Amino acid sequence: MTLDIITSDRLAPLRHGFFTRLGGASSGVFSGLNCGLGSSDQSDVVKINRARVSDAMGVAPEALVGVHQVHSADVVTIADAETPRGQADALVTSEPGLALCVLTADCQPVLFADPEGGVIGAAHAGWKGALHGVLETTVERMEALGARRDNIRAVIGPSISQRAYEVGPEFFEAFHDEDPAYSRFFVNGTGDRYHFDLPGFGLLKLREAGIAHAEWTRHCTYSDPLRFFSYRRSVHEKEADYGRLIAAIRL
């Protein structure tokens, strides 16, 4: 099956993509393009899936560069494919031939580019990372490589939508305590529950960081099981594990 890749004109002419689950070799709950080496899927099959992604990105498998994601605000600057990466949630580089990638399954995959400056970035921005500054730090690290903030474009890929993202009062309080203005990203649900607008919050943080050219692709991971993996949907369906989507960008 052909790979299904979502792209954005904002990131043109750079090669990039938010890959859906279609076109992969995995089966069962991972059926499709599961790219998560940390999942319980067969590692050889995940490597086949990742090789298909690297081929689509026009790089060797070892040049598809990611990090061990931990819901932090840490960002790694990548000089080459051998750069030690460790635990972090975003990457930036000015080196041609490297494809930066992040894995998600409801959290926000965010791809960044300053085509004129020759600098790119990729971030995994769940609620913790977004609240604690992973997007702003990615922009700062891109500037350190020569990017100009007013030239950076950022696109949020498939993420869980507000309609599907039910949270409890302690979640709301964490945001309200940080800034009462953040309450506008919550709507009332049933009982003491709320629904949180993760992509809307991500767009706010990008715009506050001075990124005028920012958008969300408006794809909900939870609501489209044919195209996307979703951690929350897997929990609701009592599945033992879940696949990971991949997003990538290269100079």
Taking the CB of residue 45, how many other CB atoms lie within 10 A of it?
15
Q: How many CA atoms lie within 13 A of 215 on its CB side?
A: 10
Please classify residue 79 by burial: count the beta carbons closer than 10 Å to its beta carbon, then call 0-12 exposed, 13-18 middle and 19+ buried. exposed
Tens of pLDDT along the chain (251 residues) come to 699 999 999 999 999 999 999 999 999 999 999 999 999 999 999 999 999 999 999 999 999 999 999 999 999 999 998 888 889 999 999 999 999 999 999 999 999 999 999 999 999 999 999 999 999 999 999 999 999 999 999 999 999 999 999 999 999 999 999 999 999 999 999 999 999 999 999 999 999 999 999 999 999 999 999 999 999 999 999 999 999 999 999 99
How far apart are alpha carbons 194 and 83 in whole angstroms?
A: 41
The predicted pLDDT at position 106 comes to: 98
The predicted pLDDT at position 84 comes to: 86
The predicted pLDDT at position 53 comes to: 98
Taking the CB of residue 71, how many other CB atoms lie within 10 A of it?
17
**E-assigned strand segments in the chain:** 5-6, 16-19, 64-65, 75-77, 90-93, 99-104, 108-114, 119-125, 153-156, 166-167, 186-188, 194-196, 213-216, 245-250
**pTM exceeds 0.85 for this model:** yes
The predicted pLDDT at position 105 comes to: 98
The predicted pLDDT at position 140 comes to: 98
Taking the CB of residue 184, how many other CB atoms lie within 10 A of it?
12
The predicted pLDDT at position 24 comes to: 98
Q: What is the dihedral of CA 87, 91, 94, 96, to 10 degrees?
A: 90
8 A C-beta contact, residue 32 and residue 245? no
**DSSP letter, residue 237:** T
How far apart are alpha carbons 85 and 75 in whole angstroms?
A: 9
Topology of the domain comprising 5-161+197-250: CNF1/YfiH-like putative cysteine hydrolases (3.60.140)
The predicted pLDDT at position 81 comes to: 86
